[in-house]
């Protein structure tokens, strides 16, 4: 880039949106109520749609407008609505004991997730991917989000929180895909949304089956299945 040329909107917007998404990931990790986790996931998903719109306007990729609309309809509206209805049917939408089932304490969980985020950030940053169309900081933050989302699925002992963790993992992968390869054909971009739809169906069946057997969404009793 010419030293005298002002930076474009896209790199700064991508870095800011990626940072906000990581902050929301930490929020999902420490929330005690599943309904609050769902709200944070919806906000995080809305940021993905905003980033797609910014990239579409900055780089002249009209297909991304359609992707942003599909992403908002599925992630911001449909997925949270489905999860809330499932929780309402099982009677756990207001229960703090379900989403508050930490494997470790809240403080230890947050500290561990900060370590994971730092590890992911520096590892992805060390890849040395530098390009005007691929902000290195946003890509590194996406890597940090992947590890924190995995941590969310590991430390929470209820199916609903684990589902939210998996959905937020898909957001992290979508962020990395938009940053690295926003110019992919629309059919490939929407493949991520199809995978999310399949995951929602699978987790819905898992939540209903698990609740029917144990009358709970907690996975703590499953530890007895270990060999």
Residue 100: phi and psi, rounded to 5, are -90, 15
Burial 57-93 (b: 16+ CB within 10 A, else e): ebeebebbeebbebbbebbbeebbeebeebbeebebb
Q: What pLDDT is attached to residue 225?
A: 52
Q: Cα 121 from chain centroid?
A: 16
Q: What pLDDT is attached to residue 6?
A: 43
In angstroms, the CA 103 to CA 84 distance is: 23
Q: What pLDDT is attached to residue 96?
A: 45
In angstroms, the CA 71 to CA 52 distance is: 9
- On the CB side of 27, CA atoms within 13 Å amount to 16
The 10s digit of each residue's pLDDT in 120-132 is 898 887 877 666 6
Low-confidence ranges of the chain (pLDDT < 70): 1-8, 90-105, 129-134, 182-183, 185-189, 209-227
Q: What pLDDT is attached to residue 168?
A: 92
Cβ contact 16:43 at 8 Å: no
């Amino acid at each position: 880039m010419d030293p005298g040329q002002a930076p474009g909107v896209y790199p700064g917007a991508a870095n800011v949106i990626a940072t906000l998404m990581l902050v929301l990931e930490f929020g999902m990790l420490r929330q005690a109520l599943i309904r609050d986790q769902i709200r944070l996931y919806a906000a995080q998903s809305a940021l993905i749609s905003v980033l797609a719109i910014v990239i579409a306007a900055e780089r002249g990729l009209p297909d991304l407008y359609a992707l942003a609309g599909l992403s908002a309809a599925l992630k911001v509206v449909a997925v949270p609505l489905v999860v809330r209805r499932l929780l309402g049917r099982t009677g756990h939408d207001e229960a703090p004991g379900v989403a508050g089932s930490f494997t470790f304490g809240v403080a230890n969980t947050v500290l561990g997730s900060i370590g994971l985020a730092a590890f992911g950030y520096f590892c992805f940053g060390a890849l040395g991917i530098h390009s005007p169309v691929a902000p290195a900081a946003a890509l590194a933050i996406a890597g940090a989000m992947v590890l924190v989302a995995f941590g969310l699925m590991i430390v929470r002992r209820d199916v609903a929180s684990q589902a939210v963790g998996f959905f937020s993992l898909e957001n992290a992968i979508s962020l990395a895909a938009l940053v690295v390869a926003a110019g992919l054909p629309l059919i490939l971009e929407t493949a991520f949304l199809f995978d999310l739809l399949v995951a929602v169906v699978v987790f819905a069946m898992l939540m209903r089956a698990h609740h029917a057997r144990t009358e709970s969404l907690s996975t703590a009793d499953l530890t007895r299945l270990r060999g």
